[in-house]
Amino acid sequence: AQSVAQPEDQVNVAEGNPLTVKCTYSVSGNPYLFWYVQYPNRGLQFLLKYITGDNLVKGSYGFEAEFNKSQTSFHLKKPSALVSDSALYFCAVRDRGSTLGRLYFGRGTQLTVWP
């Protein structure tokens, strides 16, 4: 079975400080991993994905994520947070062996960046 855990419902950080949003996963095989962001009353926006290669993946709006196979983690990071980064963040996974498009999502982490 495939599953994603986002251990923190809420993350608060001051503007200008680095931020981390945590994600751990469980899949039967090797994973494809994704991060999405959702602003109020909007759909999900794709931020970045890990397919293969370098464990550090760079995405939109200055976000990056580090894939750690031994810890089965894919934490989202940004060196300097902005107030406009405040939103709901979702981690998602697919089994590498699957030909299906279904994404398995975590419960989401609400990020609040204080000015």
Contacts with another protein, residue ranges (CB under 8 A): 32, 34, 36, 41-46, 49, 51, 90, 94-108
CB of 90 to another protein, least distance (A): 7
How would you classify residue 70: left for phi > 0, otherwise alpha for psi between -120 and 50, otherwise beta? Answer: alpha
Question: What SS3 state is found at 84?
Answer: helix
CB of 79 to another protein, least distance (A): 23
CB of 39 to another protein, least distance (A): 10
User: 27 or 81, CB closer to another protein?
Assistant: 27
Cα–Cα distance, 77 to 20 (Å, whole number): 5
How much is the CA Rg of the chain, to the nearest whole Å?
14
The DSSP secondary-structure symbol of 102 reads: P
Contact 46, 32 (CB under 8 A): no
User: 82 or 103, CB closer to another protein?
Assistant: 103
User: 49 or 77, CB closer to another protein?
Assistant: 49
DSSP bridge partners of 37: 45, 89
User: 71 or 98, CB closer to another protein?
Assistant: 98
CB of 16 to another protein, least distance (A): 29
